[in-house]
């Protein structure tokens, strides 16, 4: 039986889906996490307590563990574990992305540099320390621009600025978000880059020995024009013309090569406008949250199963994506407050095409919208004969939901 170390942050939605995939494959899972209590009782003692930020020491712990219980793969389920996964796999001689490539994918400034060096259209950018004088930075910036952290995900801390007059307040707000997330002084710089208008798409793909296999292209039908960038609806297959889709695939492959990524899942985001295709980001991990549940391959194979098969060197069956259109809505948090209830869930589930609704924040917890927030209220899924029908079902079902808070 293959044994796989899954690096699972304590705050992730994806534990269940990876565990279910491992069970189907008869793969033994060892969990690496920052906090034991988050997984107490789940793994029957088969887990390592690891500090994802201390890559060297955690790699040593993983190597020591593998000497007693050999590992077939080290897999990160979210951004937080990708660098440790690459370092540990390298130390163990396992299939992995180069550490330098993952570092570049985690650092948005380094990513921009590599994409530009490869001749890929990407926003012009600069960096600034969070303690820099905002007025001085504002004088050297083109508008509109985006201010964002170098290494956070899920649109946390990403804010559009239209004028130099508004820049200092936005800079201070994003700097405060970064300072709260990085109290130890690491990664305390901001990226300031051009705002690229246009439609946005996401690409889900698997790299195998440097070869890119695209699993899905997702349209994002809601405009993402700021000031914040809360993603909502993803729908696949894409409604873009086939030649445009081929360009997206080719651009994503070039971007992965520019970063040096070679093995495992990637999640890429691009913008399309009259000037062409703009590569925004390539992450060395699969799609976040519960969004992977939109994807089914072959005879019901999940994305997590494909990832585990590739990582552990297990046979890879034929896995064309199912023919039905599918989509997910990441339920936005609009207002602050303490959640009391989400009403209308029964009505939402009864909308034709809707095949799942999961509220991921329990009653009693605080709701924090973007840009400070880092979570969604939940996820809603739909399947139908066409992408348009999927989008319509998600919008109709979302209209049934009523979020009740204590203010």
Q: Are 218 and 199 in contact (CB under 8 A)?
A: no
Q: Is the peptide bond before 227 cis (omega within 30 degrees of 0)?
A: yes
Return d(Cα 206, Cα 284) in angstroms, integer. Answer: 10
Task: Work out the pLDDT band at 357, boundaries 50, 70, 90.
Answer: very high
- Residues 6 or more apart from 248 whose CB is under 8 A from it? 201, 203, 217, 238, 240, 270, 272, 277
**pLDDT of 197 above 90:** yes
- Residues 6 or more apart from 241 whose CB is under 8 A from it? none
328 phi/psi in degrees, rounded to 5: -135, 145
- Residues 6 or more apart from 272 whose CB is under 8 A from it? 198, 199, 200, 201, 240, 244, 248, 278
Q: How does pLDDT run across 121-157, given as a tens digit for each residue?
A: 999 999 999 999 999 999 999 999 999 999 888 889 9
Return d(Cα 74, Cα 96) in angstroms, integer. Answer: 8
Task: Work out the pLDDT band at 275, boundaries 50, 70, 90.
Answer: very high
Of the listed ranges 32-46, 213-227, 319-333, the least confidently predicted one is 32-46
Q: Are 112 and 193 in contact (CB under 8 A)?
A: yes
What pLDDT does 12 receive?
Answer: 84
SS3 content of the chain, % helix, strand, coil (to 5): 30, 30, 40
Q: Which two tokens stand for residue 130?
A: 């969070």
Question: Within 10 Å of residue 335's Cβ, how many Cβ atoms?
Answer: 10
- Residues 6 or more apart from 392 whose CB is under 8 A from it? 353
Q: Are 144 and 227 in contact (CB under 8 A)?
A: no
Q: How does pLDDT run across 65-114, given as a tens digit for each residue?
A: 999 999 999 999 999 999 999 999 999 999 899 999 999 999 999 999 99
What pLDDT does 69 receive?
Answer: 94
Sign of the CA dihedral running 363, 366, 369, 375 = negative
- Residues 6 or more apart from 132 whose CB is under 8 A from it? none
Q: Of all residues in the chain, what percent carry a pLDDT higher than 70? A: 96
Q: Give the domains, in start order, of the chain with CATH numbers.
A: 3-103 (3.40.50.20), 124-194 (3.30.1490.20), 324-407 (3.90.1170.50)
What pLDDT does 39 receive?
Answer: 46
Taking CB atoms within 8 Å and a gap of at least 24, the contacts of 237-243 are: 237/321, 237/325, 237/387, 238/201, 238/387, 239/387, 239/388, 240/201, 240/272
Cα dihedral 73, 76, 81, 85, rounded to 10, equals 20
Q: Which residues pair with 29 in a beta bridge?
A: 4
User: What are the strands of the beta sheet with 366-367, ordered from one edge?
Assistant: 366-367, 337-343, 402-405
More confident: 214 or 41: 214
* Selection from 219, 138, 125, 143 nearest residue 172 by Cα: 138
**pLDDT of 43 above 60:** no
What pLDDT does 35 receive?
Answer: 74
Give per-residue burial for 90-122: e unless 16+ CB within 10 Å, then b.
ebbebbbbebebbbbbbbbbebbebbbeeebbb
Q: How does pLDDT run across 12-38, given as a tens digit for each residue?
A: 888 899 999 999 998 999 999 987 544
What pLDDT does 204 receive?
Answer: 98
Return d(Cα 193, Cα 196) in angstroms, integer. Answer: 9
Half-sphere exposure of 65 (CA within 13 A, CB side): 23
**pLDDT of 46 above 90:** no
């Amino acid at each position: 039986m293959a044994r796989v170390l899954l690096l699972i942050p304590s705050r992730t939605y994806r534990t269940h889906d990876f565990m279910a995939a491992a069970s189907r494959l008869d793969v033994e899972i060892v969990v690496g996490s920052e906090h034991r209590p988050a997984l107490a009782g789940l793994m029957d003692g088969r887990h390592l307590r690891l500090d994802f930020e201390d890559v060297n020491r955690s790699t040593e712990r993983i190597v020591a563990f593998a000497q007693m219980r050999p590992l077939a793969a080290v897999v990160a389920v979210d951004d937080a574990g990708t660098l440790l996964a690459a370092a540990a796999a390298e130390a163990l001689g396992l299939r992995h992305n180069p550490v330098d490539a993952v570092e570049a994918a985690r650092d948005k400034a380094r990513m921009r540099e590599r994409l530009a060096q490869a001749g890929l259209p990407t926003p012009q950018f600069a960096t600034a320390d969070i303690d820099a004088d905002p007025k001085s930075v504002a004088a050297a910036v083109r508008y509109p621009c985006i201010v964002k952290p170098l290494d956070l995900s899920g649109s946390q801390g990403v804010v559009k600025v239209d004028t130099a007059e508004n820049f200092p307040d936005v800079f201070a707000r994003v700097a405060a978000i970064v300072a709260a997330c990085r109290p130890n002084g690491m990664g305390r710089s901001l990226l300031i880059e051009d705002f690229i208008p246009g439609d946005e798409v996401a690409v889900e793909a698997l790299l195998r020995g440097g070869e890119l296999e695209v699993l899905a292209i997702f349209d994002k039908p809601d405009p993402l024009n700021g000031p914040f960038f809360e993603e909502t609806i993803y729908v696949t297959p894409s409604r873009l013309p086939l030649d445009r889709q081929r360009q997206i695939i080719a651009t994503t492959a070039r971007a992965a090569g520019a970063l040096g990524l070679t093995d495992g899942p990637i999640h890429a985001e691009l913008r399309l406008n009259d000037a062409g295709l703009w590569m925004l980001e390539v992450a060395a991990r699969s799609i976040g949250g519960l969004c992977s549940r939109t994807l089914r391959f072959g005879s019901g194979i999940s994305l997590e199963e494909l990832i585990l098969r590739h990582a552990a060197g297990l046979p890879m069956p034929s896995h064309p994506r199912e023919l039905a259109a599918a989509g997910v809505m990441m339920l936005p948090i609009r207002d602050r407050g303490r959640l009391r209830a989400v009403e209308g869930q029964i009505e939402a589930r009864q909308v034709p095409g809707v095949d799942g609704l999961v509220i991921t924040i329990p009653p009693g917890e605080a709701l924090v919208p973007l840009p400070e927030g880092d979570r969604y209220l939940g996820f809603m899924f739909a399947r139908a004969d066409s992408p348009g029908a999927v989008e319509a079902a998600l919008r109709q079902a979302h209209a049934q939901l009523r979020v009740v808070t204590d203010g």
